[in-house]
Copies of this chain bind each other. A is one copy, B any other.
């Protein structure tokens, strides 16, 4: 199975990548034990690689009223709605780990309304889906609903901006037919020792 291409486009060898990109990839490999294919596929376009991950980190690593697990929930639910195989499988793995919950990713990807999450998280995901599928309808009354669940306006920016970023990411992954790494399928499904 590992002989399948990971992208419809050329994937450069590590030795041919610009130094900053190679360094980032080696750092990810050291931390995770493997290189998620999105890094390799995007390395075909170094400037886009740099901008993509800068944007990703700006949203997913910043201090926020949303926990890291909650941010991954947003990724998984919108990626499911956009039928993005790479994004659901890779971020599903990250969500399981961040939430320390082996079931959460499958539940959220298929139907977040029936996932084992809080009403506050339900409201968060409903808004993420609105931005993903009908952003033109967003109004102040939607902000009021979120405020009633304790989200401040910066939190709402985070929910919406993460949903918007993965609207791009999902489409990019489908464009290049990005293949999920074998490692993601099982990550976070087994009790850690």
Give residues in A with beta carbon < 8 Å to B: 1, 4, 8-9, 44-45, 47-48, 50-52, 54-55, 57-59, 62, 80, 82-85, 88-89, 102-103, 106-107, 109-111, 113-114, 116, 131-132, 135-140, 143, 153, 157, 160-161, 163-165, 167-172, 174-177, 182, 185-186, 189-190
**A111/B138 in contact, CB under 8 A:** no
Interchain CB contact under 8 A, A83 and B58: no
- Measured CB to CB, the closest approach of chain B to A95, in angstroms, equals 13
Q: How far is the CA of A176 from the CA of B164 in the complex (A)?
A: 12
In the complex formed, the residue of B with least CB distance to A92 is B106
For the complex, would chain A's binding face be called helix, strand, loop or mixed by DSSP majority?
A: helix
Q: How many copies does the complex hold?
A: 6
Contact residues in B for A59 (Cβ distance below 8 Å): 48
Question: Can you pick out 18 interface pairs between chain A and chain B where the beta carbons lie within 8 Å of each other?
Answer: A1-B103, A8-B140, A8-B143, A9-B157, A44-B157, A48-B55, A48-B58, A51-B51, A51-B54, A54-B54, A80-B110, A84-B135, A85-B111, A102-B185, A135-B170, A160-B176, A161-B172, A186-B190
